[in-house]
Amino acid sequence: MNSDSKRAIFAALGANLGLAAAKFFGFTVTHSASLLAESVHSIADTANQALLLWGGSAANREATEEHPFGYGRERYFWSFVVALILFSLGSLFAINHGIDKLGHVEPLYQPQVAVVILLTGILLEGFSFYVAVNAAIPLKGTASWWSFIRRTKSPELPVVLLEDFGALLGLVIALIGVGLSVATGDARYDAGASIVIGLLLGVIAAILANEMKSLLIGEGVNPEDGVTIRNALIAGDDVNHVIHMRTQHMSPDELLVGAKIELISTLNFEEVTNAIDRAETRVRSALPSFDVTIYLEPDVLEANYQEAPAADHEPQV
């Protein structure tokens, strides 16, 4: 995990830890349903950031005989757990509590306390979101934010970005609910805000779970890196074609590459092994930011051979 990702996680952890305590205190004073929903939301987010840090640490363990490719996918696994916690602890609780309050309407006490806490929360979450956005911009490049969340192989930044974005929206929704309850004297607006916050968290959790599941199952490299690998393989004079190639991210920084390549027919055994070694070196040099494990098999390209595509995002060269 790089330093920018860690900085974003620690910023979110600090903000959520303080906000969880402040929101829960506010709930005990005001009896606001939306403030309690936000309290549980911040507690869930705090636990989530701790799990992301744990996953990053666990992923650094050395490979073993049982796990020869290492533990890089720990980062994907714990990010998936984060999505489950956000849904179960955040979304379901907020919806259930809001429904309960609709059936047992209770007036708000000292709503000005809730307003102050929510406004302070917006400032703190805004800062955390700002840190996460700045950490993601170099990785995002010219892609849209949605495309970045869908395509990035680094799980921590999408989690923090969506959590912070959801936290900001949740605080605004809670503020609207409290404001409408005060203006109308009807506390059901506050209870309704709790339900909306729960639905919002459910949507974010579903998006995160889907993306983390995909990474956990195993995703290939992005189209640009796929082209880079193929170009590096055929850059040598002794390689005619890339017949077949498959790639997979073992972690955001670790790649597994397997390919069949056709070498020129005049090479003897020693020259074949040297040609393969050079091809592997070219691939590693072309992708210096990745730890690449690569397996190459020499073969002959048949005249009528057509490779079945591994995935839509893995280009042919």
Dig out the tokens for 26 from the structure. Answer: 């506010």
CA atoms within 13 A on the CB side of 202: 12
Query: What span, in angstroms and rounded, lies between the C-alpha atoms of 197 and 134?
Result: 26
Mean pLDDT of 91-114: 82
Residue with tokens 């992005």: 222
The b/e string for 145-159 (b: 16+ C-beta within 10 A; e otherwise) is eeebbebbbbbbbbb
Instruction: Tell me what the pLDDT averaged over the chain comes to.
Output: 84
CATH architecture of structural domain 3-217? Up-down Bundle (1.20)
pLDDT at residue 78 greater than cutoff 80: yes
Q: In this predicted structure, what is the pLDDT of residue 280?
A: 94
Quickly state the pLDDT bin for 4 (edges 50, 70, 90): low
CATH no. of 223-298: 3.30.70.1350
- The residue behind tokens 């098999």 is 297
What pLDDT does residue 317 have?
39
Average pLDDT over residues 184-200: 88
Task: Give the model's confidence band at 226: pLDDT under 50 very low, under 70 low, under 90 confident, else very high.
Answer: very high
Which residue from 108, 123, 121 is spatially nearest to 28, judged by alpha carbons?
108
Instruction: Write out the two tokens for 160.
Output: 């923090």
Placement of tokens 């193929």 in the chain: 230
pLDDT reading at 237 higher than 90:
no
* The predicted structure's pLDDT at residue 3: 67
Ranges of each domain in the chain: 3-217, 223-298
Give the Cα separation of 193 and 241 in Å (integer). Answer: 60
